[in-house]
Structure 1
């Protein structure tokens, strides 16, 4: 069999898209919009299937093919929304080792789709526009009626107060939540477990979760190297340049029996009682052939010459065989072998199952199909449970090295690739009101000159993200520059309580210091402490957190951050231990307290108490105040490690200045139960209100409102 050298772009098509090859003609090919509902609710998803009459090498590349929706709104406004190419999967859940595992099997060869959430009621006219090298074409127009719904819309910077969030419809939103960053088959949290955690968070009043879609090969990563041959943390890789051509292959070198394992980061799903074909080509030097084993299926591929040889083997799965078994390829004889274009498909099908074996797939510009589908499911679970997501989208290490010189070609290419990525993200997930924010990077180097990168992405998103999702980023040390950058809507910081740090034993003080930094550099922006927790001096999970099974530091940090000036609670990192300790119960009291509260337009409270051991945090306006009072001796270290119970504070008095004269209701809240336990009627005279405190053992919250 004669073999030819295949380009990287063609390999993307051959190995993933089932051999879709472009055949460009003089006239542009039409695109059709599939069946659609007659109406959709406001802010709810309308999904349309688009069918171009032509196929493309790389449908992820908008320079090769771009499909958009051209939308005429009832108000007369026209908007353009990108569409996307993706692979659908069938999902089944099976019991695994102590947890449910999801089986995902591809359906078809991939489809073009558009997802649209109308933001106004009335009749929309929608066309699909296809642009490729041969020109442009438009579909016939369809009409969709948008009707009212209960959905409150997208999260936005508050119009009354830019320090806080609100929905499109104007209702206030305060972020209460945590990280659930790593979601993957090999992680503590997989998709079924994430769905269960979302439900538990919602049951306890939490509403905000930070998710990584940039985990490389250990969890969900939309754009990252996921290889059947190596892992991102391995120092050595068997992947090498082809010995006699363009591209890359896998090398096996050594004595007779030396083997390499085909080990994708995603378990490969198979159908029972189904015929499959494994194909590839190889070349040897000294070795006489290859021994191939797939689960219980074994065969030998002899080398006939020093030239490249093709091999192909068909096998049938058993009645209960749902996964690709252990797959190895071993040398027969001493020497070396080079393996290329390994492929696994149903014998009667064309969808590539072993796409991670492609050694020529680009790491930027290819969007991992199963990870994208998993993120679909995560977003849908968030929608079902009223959870809003900050998606950390770009894989930092694929871009950071290129962002050193803003005047370089590498920097320009990083911007171009990031724009393509964000186009795909907007097309696939921006419809969802549960997507609160795009976080470009997790903890990128704060010394990199990234301002131009963020500014160009912001301008691009202004064009394509018709819902105007929030934008943010994070750095591995606090970045005052990023806090001030107008292209970023949310200033954020990360902080851990670590031994040797001055704030290690005082979680409330640590929260206040980080909030003060963010508010100093972003006084009129959204601000989040988006990673927080107890850690070792080397950033690992602290045994103290395990010791603090009652979540003292967790409780105190949640309440302190809610009253610190931030736009949401401190977002804890150690989600596995939080889940095992059922820490979700700590969200419920705070959520109950905040259920009818808006901090918009309020200022830091001028409240004091008659006891110096009480620390007072909060907000006030002319006719109301919201306060949290904490016993300074009730810090986590004192209670959990030192075993020192704070002495009860009794007969103390609260004083607050700046309220308008009149009668006020003062409610005292139990922060463990989330209930008002005492209400006082107090008069404010000469700008000062004084109220007796109940006995304070650790902390208490207060609501003051003019009658």
Structure 2
């Protein structure tokens, strides 16, 4: 008896019955075969092995095997497949989970990516070896039928210049660094253009870190699923899912279905009377001039009609053409299926066909209550497959065919993320994905006992450190993340959720448990269950973890709390409007906006860390934006700043000791407004700042606040110094040179003065390398070097004359001596030809 390895969508009662039958008939362990792999890869490059597994009794190949899962999860349903790696003939072994992979044709049509399923599947294992030499691997599989292990295979790893994964610096934990100890600068923003062109632009301009929402790709869970209601109603920032915990009157079992409802008063119920496929997300690919079979499985109740007697047919249908607001009406659009009516004693189906004509992508398809006066349906699955004739059909083309979104990982968007990660690796960009949605409706409806219950965010965050059904499903997702993308050094970290509850101990505990899982448990290494139990295991492909909150920086409760040692860095969201400082001056002064929050976050986190004898953490401001104290919308006047002064000052203020890594939220001005080079977009502003920063070893453990003195109140000076090695860097700004003054054509008075730095070697010479922060022709080239001699008390005195905008400098030990000259003429921006 052969069991298909394709993911099957079965109603719970049928799944249990079939599982029991299979377990009674099959006892053989999984069979591993057709193993293919490269003979050589570079250090920190992807090693990918593909293989097949046969004779498995698993009913869901995307779930791990668990003989004793929590209540609500059927035992023994899945299969656990891991690839074991060793660089030293099995003295050391690293386990990396494998995953079930769907194959796609990969083309571009109509100017868009076109990924069409081939019907081929394989098991894949991905790993990035962290040292050169001879490595071995073997494959291990376990399901309810038993376990098996392949024989060892060998591959070679060559040296490469890759710096490795990103970690918290072991020498200065305000910063991140690579495995090789080099500083990770991490200039970046919220991702908006994740095409290869977008990644190339990032590389060209020193943009290293982007935050992206993988939840929006709807790989796992129900939020942002592709079936959009006709009214496009939202709950906060999330669209309504239309999902409902449906109890089958025939079996008494409850499962998730999509409810479509029409009331006698019209489309007035909470649940919409129409759901549309094709409005958002990646479009469904089709082959032109091809026949497709449509099949929808549903239960219908209380369906009455017709509303328009001129059209006698009524019911639940699939249709295309016309407009969504008229899709309820008979005669609008083209009906593609039968009219579904009540199904009191069994599951019903809509059956139909459609020819794609000249389309490469599916047009809008409406799943709608047509011409009814009332009624409701509960949709289980939606399927479209190529009609091959003779009762044969091609692979499923609908990206999310089952409404039980919690039970599988969507393969189409997974393949798209494969491409995104590949481009990130190719162009040296690092990704900070948000991996769960705090308002995930399915997980807020599954109680701690595994049964469906009323909506409660506690169910999502979990029963503290106990593994409930929801936590089990989340861990299955985390395992998939590590298996498919965890190999990549260009995953900066995993962010649990966007703006979760900032005072919830359940949220805090869940994040720490995620840290335990990603740092240790996913690799098969146990960790203590209680508070304060740290995962000490070191895996070469492990990543950092964090979360984010809708307000504040709860250092006392969470970031610097000894109960939660498995969270790697702090994340704060603070727009001018939503932050706690409420300073109107931030609306006009982007540098001050950064500096105030950087200093506040650093002092807060450092204080509570020191109180608990903990190392401090890096801090990323995962969302920020220049809006107004009274309104969370980007200040529209920024569009008038055609030189991007706001972004320039915002970035260069980052030379401060607070080390707040900034990820600006709004993309419009950054992507579309002209900058100093006169071209669309402000990306080049990042380039010069990156070139200045990338050679600074600020993670070496010796840097401290510059504590510069200034003879002029008109000058702002920020920076740091390394007195062990005699180095310093600083940014000097004329405080009047704000973006608001620039767009308002305010006359800026040149500022002059002397900058003093103490703590240097007495009577020693130091080179001051001046950088034009606006230099675009040859980015990052300094324009003059002076030599300054420290006084007998170790004081450096640096003159600045007639500064209209800003300037940066690096200070290093030097030989010889020439009198310093105050830089002048610093208000001119060199423009690319």
The TM-score range, normalised by the shorter chain, is 0.7 to 0.9
1:3: which partner in 2?
none
CA displacement, residues 121-174 of structure 1 (integer Å, 9 cap, x when unaligned): 222221111111222111232211111122221112223322222211222221
Which position in structure 2 is the counterpart of 1:4?
Answer: none
**Which residue of 2 is the match for residue 368 of structure 1?**
410
Q: How does 1:429-468 map to 2 (within 5 A)?
A: 429-449=485-505, 450-463=507-520, 464=522, 466=539, 467-468=541-542
Counterpart among 519, 538, 547 of residue 602 in structure 2: 519
Instruction: Decide whether the 8 Å contact of 2:464 with 2:510 is kept in 1.
Output: no
Partner of 1:583: 682
Q: Does 2:88 align with 1:74? A: yes
Alignment of 1:162 onto 2:142? no
Greater RCO, CA 8 A, separation 6+: 1
CA deviations 1:273-323 (Å, max 9, x no partner) are 322111234557445555543458644526698655544333332245432
**Match in the other structure for 1:241:** 246
SS at match of 2:422: helix
Partner of 1:205: 206
Does structure 1 retain, via aligned residues, the 8 Å contact 2:773–2:807? yes
- Structure-2 change in CA distance of 1:240 and 1:158 (3 Å): closer
- The yes-or-no answer on 1:343 pairing with 2:383 is yes
Compute the RMSD of aligned alpha carbons: 3.3
Q: Partner residue of 2:583? A: 501
Name the structure 2 match of 1:625: 728
- Structure 1 residues 518 and 107, CA, compared in 2 at 3 Å: closer, same or farther? farther
Whole-Å Cα distance in 1 between the matches of residues 768 and 155 of structure 2? 51
Q: Match for 1:153 among 151, 164, 168?
A: 164
> Counterparts of 2:516 and 2:248 in 1: how far apart (Å)?
44
Tell me, yes or no, if the aligned pair for 2:336 and 2:353 is still in contact at 8 Å: no
**Stretch deviating more after TM superposition (128-137 or 697-706):** 128-137
Please say which of residues 255-264 and 162-171 is displaced more in the overlay. 255-264
Q: Aligned to 2:365, which of 326, 332, 335?
A: 326
Deviation at 1:337, TM superposition (A): 6.1
> In the alignment, which residue of structure 2 is the partner of 1:534?
626
Determine the C-alpha separation between the residues in 1 that align with 2:730 and 2:286.
57
Match of 1:385 in 2: 427
| Residue pair 1:638, 1:644 contacting (<8 A) in 2 also | yes
Q: Residue 529 of structure 1 contacts residue 566 of structure 1 at CA under 8 Å; is this kept in 2?
A: no
TM-score (norm 2): 0.75
Q: 2:545 aligns with which of 453, 463, 471?
A: 471
Aligned to 2:400: 356
Alignment match, 2:152: 141
SS in structure 2 of the partner of residue 440 of structure 1: strand
Q: Distance between the aligned counterparts of 1:586 and 1:243, measured in 2?
A: 59
1:155-205 Cα deviation digits (max 9, x unpaired): 12223322222211222221111111xx6xxxxx4x43xx22221121112
After superposition, the Cα gap between the structure-2 partners of 1:504 and 1:459, relative to the gap in structure 1 and judged at 3 Å, is same
The change in CA–CA distance for 1:256 and 1:510 in structure 2 (over 3 A counts) is closer
Question: Which secondary structure state, in structure 2, belongs to the residue aligned with residue 90 of structure 1?
Answer: strand
State how far apart, in whole Å, the 1-side matches of 2:559 and 2:342 are.
63
Counterparts of 1:262-273 in structure 2, within 5 Å, are 262-264=276-278, 265-266=280-281, 267-273=283-289
CA 1:276–1:665 in 2, change beyond 3 Å: closer, same or farther? Answer: same
Shift of 1:694: 4.3
**Which residue does 1:484 correspond to in 2?**
560
DSSP-derived class of the 2:286 partner? coil
Asked whether the equivalents of residues 276 and 366 of structure 2 are also in contact (C-alpha less than 8 Å), the reply is yes
| Conserved? CA contact 1:269–1:324, under 8 Å | no
Distance of 1:589 and 1:68 partners within structure 2: 44
Match of 2:745 among 643, 646, 667: 643
Residue number among 311, 319, 324 corresponding to 1:293 in the alignment: 319
User: Unmatched 5+ residue regions in structure 2?
Assistant: 1-6, 67-77, 268-272, 306-312, 322-332, 445-456, 524-538, 607-615, 674-680, 815-833
Alpha-carbon deviation of 1:468?
2.6
- For 2:364 and 2:511, the matched residues in 1 are separated by 44
Residues 496, 534 of structure 1: 8 Å contact kept: yes
Other structure's SS at 1:80 match:
strand
Which residue number corresponds to residue 830 of structure 2?
none
Per the TM alignment, residue 656 of structure 1 is displaced from its structure 2 partner at its CA by: 0.7
Shift of the 22–409 alpha-carbon distance from structure 1 to 2, 3 Å rule, reads farther
Q: Indicate how the Cα distance of structure 1 residues 61 and 458 shifts in structure 2: closer, same or farther if over 3 A, else same.
A: same
> Residues 20, 436 of structure 1: CA spacing in aligned structure 2 closer, same or farther, 3 A cutoff?
farther
CA change 1:699–1:146 in 2 (3 A) is same
Change (3 A) 1:436 1:664: same
User: What is the TM-score with the length of structure 1 in the denominator?
Assistant: 0.87
Asked if 2 retains the 8 angstrom alpha-carbon contact of 1:342 and 1:358, the reply is yes
CA distance in 1, matches of 2:645, 2:366: 48
Contact 2:188 2:663 in 1 (8 A): yes
Counterpart mapping for 1:389-408 below 5 A: 389-398=431-440, 401-402=457-458, 407=463
Greater mean deviation of Cα atoms: 50-59 or 692-701: 50-59
**3-state DSSP of counterpart to 2:423:** helix
What SS does the aligned partner of 2:625 have?
Answer: strand
Q: Deviations over 1:641-676 (max 9, x none)?
A: x432321113x2221100113111111111111431
Pair 1:59–1:596, CA change in 2 (3 A): same
CA-to-aligned-CA distance 1:627-649 (integer Å, 9 cap, x gap): 01111112233333x43232111
2:805 and 2:21 map into 1 onto residues whose CA distance is: 69
> What's the CA shift for 1:619?
0.8
Q: How many residues align?
A: 676
SS of 1:380 mapped into structure 2 = helix
SS at match of 1:618: strand
Report the Cα offset of residue 497 of structure 1: 2.7
Tell me which moved more, 627-636 or 289-298: 289-298
Distance 1:306 1:475, change over 3 A: closer
Contact persistence 2:462–2:470 (CA under 8 A)? no
Cα drift, residue 448 of structure 1: 0.6
Which residue of 2 is the match for residue 550 of structure 1?
643
Q: 2:656 aligns with which of 556, 563, 580?
A: 563
Query: Matched residues in 2 for 1:320 and 1:52: separation?
Result: 36
Q: CA deviation at 1:367?
A: 2.3
